[in-house]
């Protein structure tokens, strides 16, 4: 797939071919609203809102975030109410007697309120909270990485469509030139100036031109289809120029590599995973420390026996539990989690190396493409002048048809190379921004209406409506 970036301000004279078919900003404001997308900014906003990969990662963040209140709950009071009712029937039989001498039937019942408070659990709760917070932070950085990956795909595909439009225009102009040239040569043949060989050469070049036009049209169709899949709407027939992002890029290759090692979202997510793994080690170690708690209970029991009508009780009990031996399970968990810390550290090193390599390679590609653009721009200027000069000399009988056709072929190839070089520079720029963690909407200066973040309901609301899912059966979702 063709990948490129248009830098209209810096190479405007040489890139008139690409800029020429962009829709003016004022025309978009006056035009009626359509279902097509004509600018990269609009495409990125749509993808940021509706892309299923981004939406799935947002849901993953919300799911992992719920581990934080779950962890904190262990150090909060646990309160429960108990009620019971039943029948107690007793009969007494003396040793050596055949018949019972007494008995009773009591309708027993009672209520109790119990509260339990953990005072010390070996710092397991505190470390569980830290682990949950670090995992949530890691998921948020992973969300940033997913968003930037999708936005990079959108930018690449949008530019591929613009390149396809430019290449189709180049090949259409080439076909028009070859058609006109073939007609001229046939006229010259009728006048006895040209030869049948000149005609067949022009026909062969026209056939090749039609084939090349069909190929770039097919590439454009594929690029449009991928764009619609990513954005959820088709690309317009005329697209606005791609925004220039040069000012956001690191100044050098070494700076790009260093920034990627610190600011890449995947690196930041891996760093948070290391902290979460370290907290898991401390949670496992807490199982081998003393546990301290207190429990209070207020109860009222009716008809506990035949002589008692009611018993009221109030109990407060403190407990200290010192684990002495648990079969080696906690120790094995500590060793296991320490190994997982090592795994997380290695994954962090791998993510950092990949980010640095991607940033360095993107910067090299960006610089190389800039050189190629300048060379191709000069080649286009010289090629167009050569074609015009040979055409005039052909009319004077100085040049041959073969020379004119070869010059036209060279000029068309130069225009295609200019578009390809511009594409390489574009993709390298956006890839570099993604590698250093600066391909978000805010980084690009794109304003989008914030999404409504769903908030979890209060605990008491969930508690007093805990049977809601039994009353309301969600409909099946057709896929």
Domain boundaries, the chain: 16-24+36-78+125-289+336-444
242: phi then psi, degrees, rounded to nearest 5:
-70, 135
The gap between the terminal CA atoms of the chain, to the nearest Å, is: 31
Q: Structure pTM?
A: 0.80
What gap in Å lies between CA 400 and CA 386, rounded to an integer? 13
Question: Shortest CA distance to 434 belongs to which of 358, 351, 350?
Answer: 358
Question: Shortest CA distance to 228 belongs to which of 285, 293, 158, 314?
Answer: 158
What distances in angstroms separate CA 293 from CA 122, 130, 144, 414, one per listed residue?
12, 22, 42, 80
455: left (phi over 0), alpha (psi -120 to 50) or beta: beta
Beta-ladder partners of 117: 294
Beta-ladder partners of 91: 103
Instruction: Give the pLDDT band (50/70/90) at residue 460.
Output: low
Mean pLDDT of the chain: 86
| For range 111-128, the mean pLDDT | 94
Q: Angle at which helices 265-286 and 124-190 pack, to 10 degrees?
A: 160
pLDDT at 32 over 50: no
What gap in Å lies between CA 469 and CA 176, rounded to an integer? 68
| 444 within 8 A of 245, measured Cβ to Cβ | yes
Token pair of 137 as six digits: 């932070």
Instruction: Give the pLDDT band (50/70/90) at residue 33.
Output: very low
122: left (phi over 0), alpha (psi -120 to 50) or beta: left
What gap in Å lies between CA 211 and CA 207, rounded to an integer? 6
Q: In what order do the strands lie in the sheet with 308-321?
A: 78-92, 102-120, 291-305, 308-321
To the nearest whole percent, how much of the chain has pLDDT over 90? 67
The DSSP output letter for 10 is T
Q: What is the pLDDT of residue 398?
A: 86
Beta-ladder partners of 106: 88
Return the number of other C-beta atoms located less than 10 Å from residue 90's C-beta: 12
What gap in Å lies between CA 375 and CA 65, rounded to an integer? 53
Classify domain 16-24+36-78+125-289+336-444 at the CATH topology level: Outer membrane efflux proteins (OEP) (1.20.1600)
What distances in angstroms separate CA 391 from CA 154, 387, 397, 403, 472, one per listed residue?
43, 6, 10, 9, 80
Instruction: Give the pLDDT band (50/70/90) at residue 2.
Output: very low
What gap in Å lies between CA 356 and CA 264, rounded to an integer? 9
| For range 377-389, the mean pLDDT | 94
| 434 within 8 A of 375, measured Cβ to Cβ | no
133: phi then psi, degrees, rounded to nearest 5:
-65, -40
pLDDT tens track for 221-274: 999 999 999 998 999 888 888 888 999 999 999 999 999 999 999 999 999 999
């Amino acid at each position: 797939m063709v990948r490129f970036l248009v830098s209209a301000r810096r190479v405007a004279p040489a890139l008139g071919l690409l800029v020429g078919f962009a829709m003016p900003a004022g025309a978009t404001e006056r035009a009626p609203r359509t279902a097509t997308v004509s600018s990269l900014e609009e495409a990125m906003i749509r993808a940021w809102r509706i892309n299923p990969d981004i939406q799935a990662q947002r849901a993953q963040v919300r799911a992992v975030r719920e581990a934080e209140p779950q962890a904190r709950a262990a150090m909060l009071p646990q309160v429960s109410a108990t009620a019971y009712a039943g029948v107690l029937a007793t009969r007494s039989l003396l040793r050596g007697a055949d018949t019972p001498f007494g008995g009773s039937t009591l309708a027993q019942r009672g209520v109790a309120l119990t509260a339990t408070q953990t005072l010390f659990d070996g710092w397991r709760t505190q470390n569980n909270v830290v682990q949950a917070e670090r995992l949530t932070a890691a998921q948020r950085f992973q969300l940033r990485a997913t968003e930037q990956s999708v936005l990079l795909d959108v930018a690449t595909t949008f530019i591929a469509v613009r390149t396809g439009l430019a290449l189709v225009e180049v090949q259409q102009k080439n076909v028009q030139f070859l058609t006109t040239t073939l007609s001229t040569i046939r006229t010259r043949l009728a006048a006895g100036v040209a030869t049948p060989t000149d005609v067949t050469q022009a026909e062969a070049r026209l056939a090749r031109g039609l084939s090349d036009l069909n190929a770039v049209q097919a590439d454009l169709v594929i690029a449009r289809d991928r764009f619609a899949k990513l954005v959820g709407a088709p690309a317009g027939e005329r697209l606005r120029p791609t925004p220039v992002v040069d000012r956001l890029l690191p100044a050098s290759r070494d700076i790009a590599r260093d920034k990627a090692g610190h600011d890449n979202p995947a690196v930041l997510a891996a760093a948070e995973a290391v902290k979460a793994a370290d907290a898991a080690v401390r949670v496992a170690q807490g199982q081998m420390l003393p546990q301290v708690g207190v429990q209070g209970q207020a109860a009222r029991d009716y008809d506990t026996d035949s002589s008692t009508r009611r018993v009221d009780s109030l109990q407060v009990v403190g407990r200290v539990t010192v684990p002495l031996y648990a079969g080696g399970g906690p120790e094995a968990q500590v060793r296991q989690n320490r190994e997982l810390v090592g795994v997380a550290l290695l994954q962090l090193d791998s993510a950092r190396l990949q980010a640095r390599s991607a940033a360095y390679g993107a910067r090299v590609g960006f610089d190389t493409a800039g050189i190629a653009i300048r060379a191709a721009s000069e080649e286009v200027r010289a090629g167009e002048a050569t074609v015009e000069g040979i055409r005039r000399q052909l009319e004077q009988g100085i040049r041959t048809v073969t020379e004119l056709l070869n010059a036209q072929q060279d000029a068309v190839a130069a225009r295609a190379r200019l578009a390809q070089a511009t594409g390489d520079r574009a993709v390298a720029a956006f890839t570099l921004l993604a590698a250093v963690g600066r391909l978000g909407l805010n980084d690009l200066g794109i304003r989008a209406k914030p999404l409504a973040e769903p908030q979890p309901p209060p605990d008491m609301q969930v508690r007093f409506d805990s049977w809601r899912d039994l009353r309301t059966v969600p409909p099946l979702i057709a896929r």
